[in-house]
């Protein structure tokens, strides 16, 4: 999957973070010569060399606004990427979305088997919290426990897992725009919000800044999902590295089916502009966050 | 499933803790009137009114040796039981052990569906860490982050998930006693060890006491698994509330297949005695832990 970005700053930032996250997972996951070998290989397949790394980019960028050291921020970035990866492995299972392809590579259950995919997801889920609770991520135990609280609540039944359940139920029910918005805020928004919030926690950002950053995250999260629906509607499966138009085939309501493609795109653009507005307290040091807000609506995969 | 216990102290202790854990999950898991309803119902089915609650009993008993308040200990007990429950839901899936019955009730994927079972396990996994990171469990952030570290490492690829993977691989390979012991230390021992260690963390137990308690947990963990294999070999499926003799049918090595039932039983008894030996620094206040060590080998389900 080629990632073509008009924005050079963002492109360079993502490339650097992709490299750092790949290296960190490589070090964290040596392949043991025992019965766990296949498990670790499956986890490596899912975590190394795939994905845009938008969540770690957000986390690390916010952390650096407040002077957090790079290695702490990268470890916390690995934790949120571990949660994101586990959710993709489980979502791709035959009993869920039944996908064969992810980031242009075979999904874990295709390359290995379903049981390995279930366990690889579970092990990554645990690893995220092990990373956050470690002194290498922060010497301050309050920061560590706040990071765990933020990520666990974004991942559980009041966050991503809850949103995924609502999404499954939406095949059988007709949802209105309000319900779809709520669903997407849980399913994808919670984790994007956690990325930004975890950066703020690591950086001991003041409460007012944290509130503005949360608003920024909420807006780009929603814009991100609307564009996902647009790309699913009109996009290129090869570029996306995954199967498309599955929602429509399953009769699910999306932002595009409810608003139509034109109003959906307008809405995404308005949210992106609004997200940038929430960064008005920052100068050029927040340029990367502005670039992310633009990228979210301009991306073609 | 009737739990008949000769030891009245243990029987009363377990009953009290079953009630408290059930009540705590009931309060933690109100059923929402939205698309997450089925998810929460599935989680409630898996967590309320089932299981012996051995892990919370160990955790709470150790915590109380060091004067920890009951409500803190019960919350941490819910966290470890949430991890135990999530692992049972996922282990029971068709792609794993494919079981229809658990604690005498239908398994989550039988009562609901596989996708709901995957998500219910995932949501419980996250909930465990959300509970531990909460100020209601401990006002001391260092304790909170130590609890998370302990439980996440016991749950992940170097703990339960790693042991489960080794167990799956054991269908294809011939394991010796050393490897089976290592496998079981990960698969069931890690979480029993975490139960004891989390009690010690909550209670700020000194390092030496913690080491002895860890030895105790290691011994009862192994004895527990040997007796599981014995019950699987000779037990009563109705009493157990689950299908039996699946390991032998799948050609897996167990303690019983490697040692024979007589030596296996002797070994379990020796481990139980040894576990009790590790409690020599305590007086009558550790009687419940001694009762658990006796129960582990005397139980018939």
In the predicted model, what is the mean pLDDT of residues A24-39?
96
Count: domains in chain B = 1
Residue B84 has, within 13 A of its CA and on its CB side, a CA count of 24
Q: Does B1 map to a domain?
A: no
Q: What percentage of residues in chain B have a pLDDT greater than 70?
A: 92
Range of the domain at A223: 8-298
| pLDDT number for residue B176 | 87
For the domain that residue A56 is a member of, what is the CATH number?
A: 1.10.600.10
**Is residue A62's pLDDT more than 70?**
yes
Look at residue A2 and tell me if it is in a domain. no
Distances (CA, A) of B269 to A290, B223, B225, B274: 65, 7, 12, 9
Give the 3-state DSSP-derived string for chain B, with helices as H, strands as E and coil as C: CCCCCCCHHHHHHHHHHHHHHHHHHHHHCCCCCCCCHHHHHHHHHHHCCCCCCHHHHHHHHHHHHCCCCHHHHHHHHHHHHHHHHHHHHHHCCCCCCCCCEECCEECHHHHCCHHHHHHHHHHHHHHHHHHHCCCCCCCCHHHHHHHHHHHHHHHCCCCHHHHHHHHHHCCCCCCCHHHHHHHHHHHHHHHHHHHHHHHHHHCCCCHHHHHHHHHHHHHHHHHHHHHHHHHHHHCCHHHHCCCCCHHHHCCCCCHHHHHCHHHHHHHHHHHHHHHHHCCCCCCHHHHHHHHHHHHHHHCCC
Instruction: Report whether pLDDT(B230) > 70.
Output: yes
Identify the pLDDT of residue A118: 97
Give B 13-52 residues with CB within 8 A of chain A. 34-36, 38-40, 43
Domain contains A213? yes
Give residue B240's pLDDT band: very low, low, confident or very high (50, 70, 90): low
Chain A residues 144-203 within an 8 A CB cutoff of chain B: 144-146, 148-149, 151-153, 155-157, 159, 161-162, 164-170, 173, 175, 179, 182-183
Q: Do B126 and A161 count as a contact with CB atoms less than 8 A apart?
A: yes
Calculate the alpha carbon distances from A169 to A230, A289, B38, B42, B229 in Å. 21, 34, 9, 14, 40
Whether the predicted pLDDT of A244 surpasses 70: no
pLDDT at residue B1, as a whole number: 36
Which chain A residue's Cα is nearest to B91? A115
Interface of A with B in 87-106 (CB under 8 A): 87, 90, 93, 95-96
- What residues in A contact B166, CB-CB < 8 Å? 34-36
User: How many Å apart are CA B95 and CA B114, to the nearest integer?
Assistant: 10
Closest-CA residue of chain A to B98: A115
- Asked whether B254 and B179 are in contact (CB, 8 A), the reply is no
**Is the per-residue pLDDT at B30 higher than 90?**
yes
Task: Give the residue-averaged pLDDT of B175-184.
Answer: 89
Compute the distance between CA of residue B41 and CA of residue B30 in angstroms, rounded to an integer: 9
Per residue in A261-271, pLDDT tens?
Answer: 999 999 999 99
- Can you tell me the mean pLDDT for B77-100? 96
On the question of pLDDT at B22 being above 80, the answer is yes
CB B40 within 8 A of CB A157: yes
Task: Please count the other Cβ atoms lying within 10 Å of the Cβ belonging to residue A38.
Answer: 19
Q: Which residue has the tokens 């992709």?
A: A18
Nearest CB to A129: which of B35, B114, B129?
Answer: B129
For A70-76, what is the mean pLDDT? 97
A266 touches chain B (CB under 8 A): no
Higher pLDDT, B9 or A89: A89
Residues of A in contact with B86 (CB under 8 A): 122
Higher pLDDT, B8 or A172: B8
Percent of chain A with pLDDT over 90: 79
Instruction: Tell whether A88 is covered by a domain.
Output: yes
Asked whether A212 and A282 are in contact (CB, 8 A), the reply is no
Both tokens of A230, joined, read: 């647009």
Let me know if residue B2 belongs to a domain: no
Query: Is residue B51 pLDDT above 90, yes or no?
Result: no
Mean pLDDT across B235-241? 64
Residues of chain A with Cβ-Cβ distance to B173 below 8 Å are 35
Would you call B133 and A148 a contact, using CB atoms and an 8 Å cutoff?
A: yes
Q: Is B100 exposed, middle or buried (0-12, 13-18, 19+ CB in 10 A)?
A: middle
Percent of chain A residues past pLDDT 70, beyond the cut: 92
CB contact under 8 A, A115 and B36: no
Q: From the CA of B170, how many Å to the nearest CA of chain A? A: 8
Helices A287-298, A261-277: axis angle to 10 degrees equals 180
Residues near A283 by beta carbon (within 8 Å), at least 6 away in sequence: none
What is the mean predicted confidence (pLDDT) over A73-83?
Answer: 98
Rounded CA-CA distance A254/B173 in Å is 48
Mean pLDDT over residues A66-79, rounded? 97
Across the interface, whether the CB atoms of A118 and B95 are under 8 A apart is answered yes
pLDDT surpassing 80 at residue A7: no
Is residue A3 domain-resident? no
Query: In B, which residues are within 8 Å of A90 by CB distance?
Result: 118-119, 122
Q: Can you tell me which residue has the tokens 């669903």?
A: A183
Q: What is the mean pLDDT of the segment spanning B150-175? A: 92
Per the CB < 8 Å rule, is B132 touching A148? yes
> What pLDDT score was predicted for residue A5?
53
Mean pLDDT of chain B: 92
> Is pLDDT at B244 greater than 70 in this prediction?
no
Q: Which two tokens stand for residue A116?
A: 């390995």
User: Which of A90, A151, A179 lies nearest to residue B118, judging by beta carbons?
Assistant: A90
| A238 has a pLDDT exceeding 70 | no
| Cβ-based neighbour number of residue B286 at 10 Å | 19
> Which of A226-240, B20-34, B77-91, B101-115 bottoms out in mean pLDDT, i.e. has the lowest?
A226-240
Residue B247 has pLDDT above 60, yes or no: yes
The arithmetic mean of pLDDT across residues B87-112, rounded, is 93
A157-166, B43-52, B80-89, B232-241, range with the lowest pLDDT: B232-241
Distances (CA, A) of A43 to A28, A36, A212, B149, B170: 11, 11, 35, 20, 20
pLDDT at B155: 97
Residues A106-140: tens digit of each pLDDT: 999 999 999 999 999 999 999 999 999 999 999 99
Question: What is the CB neighbour count within 10 angstroms for residue B270?
Answer: 13
Residue closest to A78 by CA, chosen among A20, A39, A118, A126: A20
Is there a domain that residue A56 lies in? yes
Q: Which residues of B touch A86 (CB under 8 A)?
A: 122
Nearest-by-Cβ selection for B34 from A39, A119, A166:
A166
Q: Is residue B3 in some structural domain?
A: no
- Give the least confident one: B12-16, B82-86, B163-167, B171-175: B171-175
Q: Interior CA angle at B239 toward B238 and B242, to 5°?
A: 60
Q: pLDDT for B156-165, tens place per residue?
A: 999 999 999 9
């Amino acid at each position: 999957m080629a990632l073509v970005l008009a924005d050079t700053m963002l492109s360079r930032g993502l490339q650097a973070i992709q490299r750092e996250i790949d290296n960190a997972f490589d070090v964290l996951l040596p392949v043991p010569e025992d019965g766990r070998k296949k498990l670790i290989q499956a986890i490596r397949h899912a975590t190394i060399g795939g994905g845009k790394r938008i969540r770690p980019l957000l986390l690390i960028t916010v952390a650096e606004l407040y002077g957090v050291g790079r290695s702490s921020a990268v470890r916390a970035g690995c934790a949120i990427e571990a949660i994101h990866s586990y959710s993709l492995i489980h979502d791709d299972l035959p009993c869920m979305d039944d996908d064969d392809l992810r980031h242009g590579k075979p999904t874990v259950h295709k390359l290995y088997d379903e049981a390995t995919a279930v366990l690889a997801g579970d092990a990554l889920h645990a690893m995220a919290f092990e990373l956050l609770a470690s002194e290498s991520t922060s010497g301050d135990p309050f920061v560590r426990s706040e990071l765990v609280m933020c990520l666990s609540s974004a991942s559980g039944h009041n966050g991503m897992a809850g949103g995924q359940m609502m999404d499954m139920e939406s095949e059988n029910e007709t949802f209105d725009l309000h319900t779809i918005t709520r669903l997407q805020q849980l399913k994808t928004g919670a984790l994007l919000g956690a990325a930004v919030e975890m950066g703020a926690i690591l950086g001991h950002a003041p409460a007012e800044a944290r509130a503005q950053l949360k608003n920024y995250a909420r807006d780009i999260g929603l814009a991100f999902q609307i564009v996902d629906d647009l790309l699913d509607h009109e996009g290129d499966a090869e570029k996306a590295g995954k199967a498309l138009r599955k929602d429509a085939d399953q009769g699910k309501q999306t932002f595009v089916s409810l608003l139509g493609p034109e109003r959906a795109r307008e809405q995404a653009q308005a949210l992106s502009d609004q997200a940038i507005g929430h960064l008005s307290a920052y100068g050029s040091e927040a340029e990367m966050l502005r670039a992310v807000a633009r990228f979210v609506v301009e991306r073609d995969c």
